[in-house]
């Protein structure tokens, strides 16, 4: 077994810090946990070989505190940093600082993070590489007259998006020319307030698409592969709730076609590490919206249907190894579904911080639970409310749904409210059973 690094620092918390720790241990790599003073009793700290407290509870003072994390690397002698998702995972400045300290970032180059972080540059870059994009302005909108011209060309409804945005912040729809001035001004004001940058662009508004993303991987030798798609259409307020792979609406031919377009683009770009190319999918067509330059929360469903450990692969390519397999050896098998279990009221989604009294995760055939929770653990109020992920896999979608139904009956969490009951409700719904949903489905269902 190849080690790749002697010691890796994990710059994250919760289930993803544990997930990275597990991959490191299996590779014979020592781990360093970092944590805030609110996370002294956290599972990722208990399991790591060493731990360093990097600051007070607020993320900006601890998990986002770059000097503290660099110091923790120097004190412990860690050679590489895995950022997980969120926090510093898509921070190009952090990557530059690591490089200046001779530390390896387990992820892409700062240049690629920067390109994809600017949504106009990202769209222009991938479009030139042959990826289909949503019709819209080429580059930024200069003023209202420019907006009018573009909107008339592509036809209403149109969407105004912030170039520094992503995740839906600062988006405004104009259904007709009379809406345009208001939408344009509002989008710019919101973009300025949220990101300190009022650069906006325009796209044709797709009214009822699915959100389908392709997992890609590149190495430092110019190789790239794709690992199929994930359907992440079931979401509420830009937070994914349930994801599945494969998508109920994509067949093998479509997967191969969009997958090859994606991996060829990634190879030409020289992109290194794990990445996700996000598309809207409507009327049989894919339209690029954004690229994420990190490991994603929902990566386990891809691991299951491909039988590839994405975190080990990240570590291996960061150390300079070639991708462990070629595209023709990537086989997609069965079906996987992930449910995000949050400490929230299942109807109002109000966060429910506090102490977990009972914790009995589901298990048995076809069940994986990625979580850092345990009985007696107190969920701190400072971070996101995800307690863990229930991941279920079956031979096909129906088998997977049956196993999910059974696993949800087994899972018991007491002491805090959780979103577990929501998934039981969803499974009883005919549209869910048939895979018949789009990005608006869940919000409409919850409004009834």
Residue nearer to ligand MV4 on the CB measure, 44 or 123: 123
CA dihedral over 67, 73, 74, 75, signed as positive or negative: positive
CA 248, CA 161: separation in Å to the nearest integer?
Answer: 29
Residue nearer to ligand MV4 on the CB measure, 19 or 211: 211
Q: Give the nearest distance from C-beta 249 to ligand MV4 in angstroms.
A: 15
**Contact, 152 vs 142, CB < 8 A?**
no
Q: Give the nearest distance from C-beta 444 to ligand MV4 in angstroms.
A: 12
Residue nearer to ligand MV4 on the CB measure, 170 or 394: 170
Q: How far is CA 268 from the centre of its chain?
A: 23
CA 228, CA 330: separation in Å to the nearest integer?
Answer: 9
Residue nearer to ligand MV4 on the CB measure, 216 or 367: 216
Nearest residue relative to ligand MV4 (C-beta): 168
- Annotated catalytic residue within 255, 294, 368, 397: 294
Residue nearer to ligand MV4 on the CB measure, 231 or 417: 231
Q: Give the nearest distance from C-beta 392 to ligand MV4 in angstroms.
A: 22
DSSP reduced 3-state for 370? strand
Active site residue 294: yes
Residue nearer to ligand MV4 on the CB measure, 248 or 334: 248
DSSP reduced 3-state for 427? helix
Q: Give the nearest distance from C-beta 162 to ligand MV4 in angstroms.
A: 10
Residue with tokens 């412990």: 76
Binding residues (CB under 6 A) for ligand MV4: these are 134, 159, 166-168, 203-206, 211, 235, 238, 280, 289-290, 439
Name the nearest CA neighbour of 438 among 232, 241, 277: 232
CA 196, CA 219: separation in Å to the nearest integer?
Answer: 34
CA 27, CA 299: separation in Å to the nearest integer?
Answer: 19
Over 202-269, what HEC string results? Answer: EEECCCCCEEEEEEEEECCCCCEEEEEEEEEEEEECCEEEEEEECCCCCCHHHHHHHHHHHHHHHHHH
Residue with tokens 């950022």: 83
Residue nearer to ligand MV4 on the CB measure, 90 or 203: 203
As a whole number of angstroms, the longest Cα–Cα distance in the chain is 64
Residues 6+ positions from 58 with CB-CB distance below 8 Å: 36, 382
**Contact, 385 vs 378, CB < 8 A?**
no
Q: How far is CA 41 from CA 245, 370, 378, in A?
A: 34, 18, 9
**Contact, 161 vs 155, CB < 8 A?**
no
Q: Give the nearest distance from C-beta 243 to ligand MV4 in angstroms.
A: 11
DSSP reduced 3-state for 144? helix
Residue nearer to ligand MV4 on the CB measure, 219 or 243: 243
CA 381, CA 376: separation in Å to the nearest integer?
Answer: 16
Q: Give the nearest distance from C-beta 117 to ligand MV4 in angstroms.
A: 13
Q: Give the nearest distance from C-beta 232 to ligand MV4 in angstroms.
A: 7
Over 373-417, what HEC string results? Answer: CCCCCEECCCCCCEEEEEEEEECCHHHHHHHHHHHHHHCEEECCC
Q: Give the nearest distance from C-beta 213 to ligand MV4 in angstroms.
A: 9
Residue nearer to ligand MV4 on the CB measure, 267 or 282: 282
CA 322, CA 447: separation in Å to the nearest integer?
Answer: 49
Residue with tokens 């530059």: 96
Catalytic residue set: 294
């Amino acid at each position: 077994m190849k080690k790749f690094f002697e010691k890796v620092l994990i710059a994250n918390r919760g289930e993803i810090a544990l997930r990275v720790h597990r991959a490191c241990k299996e590779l014979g790599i020592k781990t360093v946990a970092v944590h805030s003073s609110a996370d002294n009793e956290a599972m990722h700290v208990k399991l790591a070989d060493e731990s360093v407290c990097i600051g007070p509870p607020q993320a900006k003072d601890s998990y986002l505190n770059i000097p503290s994390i660099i110091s923790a690397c120097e004190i412990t002698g860690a050679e590489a940093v895995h950022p997980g998702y969120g926090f510093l995972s898509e921070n190009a400045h952090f990557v530059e600082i690591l490089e200046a300290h001779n530390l390896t970032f387990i992820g892409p180059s700062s240049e690629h993070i920067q390109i994809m972080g600017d949504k106009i540059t990202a769209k222009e870059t991938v479009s030139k590489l042959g990826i289909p994009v949503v019709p819209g302005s080429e580059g930024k909108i200069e003023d209202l007259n420019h907006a009018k011209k573009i909107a008339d060309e592509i036809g209403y409804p149109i969407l105004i998006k912030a170039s520094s945005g992503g995740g839906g912040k600062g988006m405004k729809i104009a259904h007709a020319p009379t809406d345009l001035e208001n939408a344009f001004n509002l989008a710019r004001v919101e973009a300025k307030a949220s990101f300190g940058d009022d650069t906006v662009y325009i796209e044709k508004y797709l009214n009822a698409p699915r959100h389908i993303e392709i997992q890609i991987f590149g190495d430092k030798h110019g190789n790239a592969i794709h690992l199929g798609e994930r359907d992440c259409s079931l979401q509420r307020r830009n937070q994914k709730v349930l994801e599945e792979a494969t998508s109920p609406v994509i067949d093998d031919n479509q997967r191969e076609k969009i997958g090859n377009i994606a991996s060829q683009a990634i190879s030409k770009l020289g992109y290194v590490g794990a990445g996700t190319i996000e598309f809207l999918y409507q009327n049989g067509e894919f339209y690029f919206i954004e690229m994420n330059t990190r490991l994603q929360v929902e990566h386990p469903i891809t691991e299951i249907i491909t039988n590839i450990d994405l975190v080990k692969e990240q570590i291996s390519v960061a150390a300079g190894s070639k991708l462990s397999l070629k595209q023709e050896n990537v086989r997609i098998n069965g079906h996987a579904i992930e449910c995000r279990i949050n400490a929230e009221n299942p109807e109002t989604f109000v966060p429910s911080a506090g102490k977990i009294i009972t914790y009995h995760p589901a298990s048995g055939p076809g069940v994986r639970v990625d979580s850092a929770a345990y009985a007696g653990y107190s969920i701190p109020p400072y971070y996101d409310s995800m307690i863990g992920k229930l991941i279920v896999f079956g031979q096909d979608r129906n088998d997977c749904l049956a196993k999910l139904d059974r696993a949800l009956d087994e899972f018991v969490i007491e002491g805090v409210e959780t979103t577990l009951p929501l998934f039981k409700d969803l499974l009883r719904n005919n549209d869910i059973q048939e895979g018949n949903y789009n990005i608006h489905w869940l919000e409409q269902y919850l409004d009834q």
